[in-house]
Every structure is written in C-alpha cells, then in structure tokens.
C-alpha cells in the first residue's frame, strides 16, 4: 500500500482498535501511518469503561493523541482521564490541526489539584491564535476554573473564528465571568 492509502486505512476506528489489541510494534506502525493522513477527517474517541477504547493504557492513549493526523476537522474525546501528559499531547496536536473546526472534550479530566486548570492555560493560548476553530465544547472537564477563567475569557474574546462555546459543568460564576469578559466580542459568541 502507498503511504496515503495506508494512512487513510489507519485513521479508521476499526483499524486503530484492532491495532490496540496487538503488540507494541503493530500499534506503533498503525499510529505512525495514521499521523501521515492527508484526508480531512472527523475522529472520535470514547474511553469509557465499557466502550471500544476501554482497554487502552494511558501510555497508548498518550501515543494516540500525539499521532493524530494534522488534517482533522472535528475531534471528540470523551471519558479520558489520562493525566497531564495526555492533555499536553492533545494541545501539541491542536497547534498543528490547521483544519480543526470543532473540538469537543467531554468528561475529560487531568486530575490533580489544579493541574487541569494549569495545563489548559496552554490550550487557551493555542486556541487564541487558532484560525479555523469554530466550535469548542468542554463538558464536565477540569480545564476551566477560578485559577484560569481570565485567560479563557481572553481567548474567547480574541479568537474571532470561534463562534460556538459550551462549558457544561462549570459553576454559574465561572460561566458568568466568561460571558462578561466576552460581551463586547464581535462576532457574538453563541453559548450552548
């Protein structure tokens, strides 16, 4: 198979899930191929305990996000509790996802005292300069809180391509602070 075809094959959920059950060598070959993908794609990973990605180790989950193809348009990650290194890898990816239109993180936690808020300052900085993102959904994460609400408010104000934002699970006070910070933004931010 040529590299492009191999990469497109590797981007399929079934291929990745199959490789995840194999030895490290097979797994690494598959994610290396995936990282070379050139087709615009939507990718979704749900790591819940009874889901198709439930047996993935933290080390492999970190490798997975570090090898996502740069052509992703929509990325959804759910039930990921793999720590700071996982989130750092995801943020590094978001930097190079030049086609990314929608990022959804649901029940994705860094854990540790304030670590989620600390690492998400980097995500906020990357998204402030991102030129294709239109939607950001952060549902039940530990990424926005009292320690970084100002940085996130700045990001939401600065990024003019971002039109839709959802922070489900945040306190009413946090949401109100973000809304206040972005009230004069143009275009107006649609809150979900």
Structure tokens belonging to residue 129: 């300069």
pLDDT confidence of 39, banded at 50, 70, 90? Answer: confident
pLDDT confidence of 71, banded at 50, 70, 90? Answer: very high
Return the DSSP state at 170: S
pLDDT confidence of 16, banded at 50, 70, 90? Answer: confident
Centre a 10 Å sphere on the Cβ of residue 115 and count the other Cβ atoms it contains.
15
Planar angle of CA 73, 65, 41, nearest 5 degrees: 20
Does residue 91 surpass a pLDDT of 90?
A: yes
Give residue 13's pLDDT: 80
Read off the pLDDT of residues 153-164 as tens digits, 9 standing for 90 and up.
999 999 999 999
Give residue 62's pLDDT: 96
Does residue 51 surpass a pLDDT of 90?
A: no
pLDDT confidence of 4, banded at 50, 70, 90? Answer: low
| More confident site: 95 or 10 | 95
What CA–CA distances, in Å, run from 161 to 7, 100, 134, 166?
29, 11, 5, 15
Give residue 9's pLDDT: 59
The pTM for the full model equals 0.92
% the chain with pLDDT above 70:
94
| Residue the block writes with tokens 């275009």 | 187
Does residue 55 surpass a pLDDT of 90?
A: no
Give residue 8's pLDDT: 56
């Amino acid at each position: 198979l040529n590299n492009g075809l191999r990469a497109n094959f590797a981007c399929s959920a079934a291929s990745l899930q199959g490789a995840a059950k194999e030895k490290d060598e097979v797994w690494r070959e598959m994610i290396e191929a995936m990282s070379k993908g050139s087709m615009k794609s939507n990718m979704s990973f749900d790591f819940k305990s009874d889901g198709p990605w439930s047996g993935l180790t933290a080390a492999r989950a970190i490798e997975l996000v570090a090898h996502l193809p740069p052509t992703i348009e929509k990325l959804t990650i759910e039930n990921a509790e793999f720590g700071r290194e996982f989130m750092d890898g995801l943020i590094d990816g978001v930097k190079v996802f030049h086609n990314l239109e929608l990022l959804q993180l649901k029940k994705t936690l860094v854990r540790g005292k304030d670590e989620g808020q600390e690492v998400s300052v980097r995500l906020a900085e990357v998204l402030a300069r991102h030129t294709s993102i239109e939607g950001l959904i952060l549902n039940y994460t530990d990424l926005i809180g009292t320690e970084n609400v100002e940085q996130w408010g700045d990001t939401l104000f600065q990024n003019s391509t971002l039109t839709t934002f959802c922070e489900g699970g945040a306190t009413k006070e946090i949401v109100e602070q973000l809304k206040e910070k972005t009230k004069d933004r143009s275009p107006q931010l649609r809150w979900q």
